[in-house]
Structure 1
Amino acid sequence: MTNDGRRLRGSRSREAILERAVSLASVEGLDGLTLGRLAAATGTSKSGFFAHWAGKEQLQLDAVEWAARQWSEHVVAPALRAPAGVRRLFALHEARLRFYGDGVLPGGCFFFTAQVEFDDRPGPVRDRVARALGEWQAFLQRQVTEAVELGELARDVDPAQLAYEIDALGEMVVTHSRLHDGAASLLHARRAVLQRLRALCPDPTLLPEDGHDS
């Protein structure tokens, strides 16, 4: 029981640190994650910190893993409750916008910051960020493909192209909502994808009528 309790406390401590690390990195980037700073921010002793991570790169890699898990919990899981097809595709976009609008991360999006920081820096961290972004794109593309197969999107829709457009419109919110009018950015991004999907859907009544309806 004692060993189990220690492992549980260790796991909780590690998860609390990673949660804080992803939050900080969404603003300052992964290079801003120094072991000393995170130890101070989380009230963890440096010796306790090194029990979890031997170096900065492993901490960065684990932060990417945590961010991917967070994205799955906040964006993917809620959308999967919607019916397969065009409604689930739009639910994914709405869940993403809700993630940004609710301010889950102070910087808006961990992966937006990470890809800008590491896009031209070869190495394990860049590879892991690229893989996470690729998996998201592939997931979006599968939802488009399924909607086409269900007859809820026109048969001549290019899944890769439409997935790219939806992703780009979601990503634009990250910068526009912070530099300009956040509420307007969210509304425009929601409406743009909604109108695109309704135009491609043989039965547009499956979707809300405009950018205000839920």
Structure 2
Amino acid sequence: MKRTPPAKTSKAPPPTDRRRAHGASTRREILDAARRIAAADGLEALSIGRLATEVGMSKAGLFAHFGSKESLQIATIDSAWDVYRSEVLEPTTASPPGAPQLRAYMEHYFEYVQRHAMDGGCFFTAASSEFDDRTGPVRDRVFKSTAERSAFLDNVLHDAVAAGHLPKNTDVAQMSFEIMALVTGTNLLFQLYKDPQIFQRARRTLRAMPPPKRSSKGAAD
């Protein structure tokens, strides 16, 4: 008589793995709340005590995750960068290189700003304004993230030149500066007025923006 083998049963994960998964989930919840506080009120408003109240934990439990206010601030910046990368940068790279990616970058950024309007809009615009005249590890982490954001846009523009979508003598550094100034200003004005027409004005400004040319010496005038 042919016997049917017993069905395989999945083993429950070991207690150590369950604790690790629970700890990671708790940390994500904490950092979600930390981003909201920091984006709305500033990174300096972020404290172990305030965050413990926000997430319903003890100060001791929260301290075990981060150890200090500075470590919490840096972890919050890193978490905000993960959000920015997943909502703006990664979707942009799904478009063809060149002009399509430039347009995609603007659109994904505007969507990001509107999606987080109740939490202060662009996290890095707010953090840059807060820490632009300070020193220390928190300011350095803000600077690193904003520099990576600018470098990403530089690469998009270089690809647009290579694809023939922008003139070969385009001053990429200057154009990148102008676009970053445009999107930063758009974020600030939308946060103040909450008027979606601001994004339409920004789009028209970008379309009308002539590519700046490099000087004959290869540097911006």
Output the TM-score relative to the length of structure 1: 0.88
Indicate yes or no: 2:137 matched with 1:137: no
> What secondary structure is seen at the aligned counterpart in 2 of 1:182?
coil
- Correspondence for 1:88 among 101, 108, 116: 101
The answer for unaligned runs of 5 or more in structure 1 is 201-214
Indicate yes or no: 2:205 matched with 1:192: yes
Report the equivalent of 1:162. 175
Report the equivalent of 1:98. 111
User: Counterparts of 1:191 and 1:22 in 2: how far apart (Å)?
Assistant: 31
Checking the alignment, whether the CA contact within 8 Å between 2:116 and 2:122 is kept in structure 1 is: no
| TM-superposed deviation, 1:115 | 1.0
**Greater Cα radius of gyration, structure 1 or 2:** 2
| TM-superposed deviation, 1:181 | 4.9
Which amino acid in structure 2 is aligned with residue 191 of structure 1? R
CA offset digits 1:148-171 (Å, max 9, x no partner): 011111111111111111111111
| TM-superposed deviation, 1:72 | 0.3
Checking the alignment, whether the CA contact within 8 Å between 2:97 and 2:160 is kept in structure 1 is: yes
Percent identity reads: 36
Which residues of 2 match residues 1-214 of structure 1 at below 5 A?
1-103=14-116, 106-196=119-209
| TM-superposed deviation, 1:45 | 2.2
> What secondary structure is seen at the aligned counterpart in 2 of 1:157?
coil
> What secondary structure is seen at the aligned counterpart in 2 of 1:73?
helix
User: Counterparts of 2:194 and 2:121 in 1: how far apart (Å)?
Assistant: 14
CA offset digits 1:82-136 (Å, max 9, x no partner): 1111110110011000111223652111111111111111101111101111111
User: Counterparts of 2:149 and 2:127 in 1: how far apart (Å)?
Assistant: 15
User: Counterparts of 2:88 and 2:43 in 1: how far apart (Å)?
Assistant: 22
Which amino acid in structure 1 is aligned with residue 21 of structure 2? L
Question: Would you say how many aligned residue pairs link Structure 1 and Structure 2?
Answer: 198
User: Counterparts of 1:47 and 1:178 in 2: how far apart (Å)?
Assistant: 35
User: Counterparts of 1:91 and 1:27 in 2: how far apart (Å)?
Assistant: 26
User: Counterparts of 1:59 and 1:103 in 2: how far apart (Å)?
Assistant: 21
User: Counterparts of 1:23 and 1:194 in 2: how far apart (Å)?
Assistant: 33
User: Counterparts of 1:22 and 1:193 in 2: how far apart (Å)?
Assistant: 30
Which amino acid in structure 1 is aligned with residue 142 of structure 2? V
Q: CA RMSD in A?
A: 1.4
User: Counterparts of 1:29 and 1:93 in 2: how far apart (Å)?
Assistant: 25
| TM-superposed deviation, 1:30 | 0.3
Query: Runs of 4+ in structure 1 displaced over 3 angstroms?
Result: none
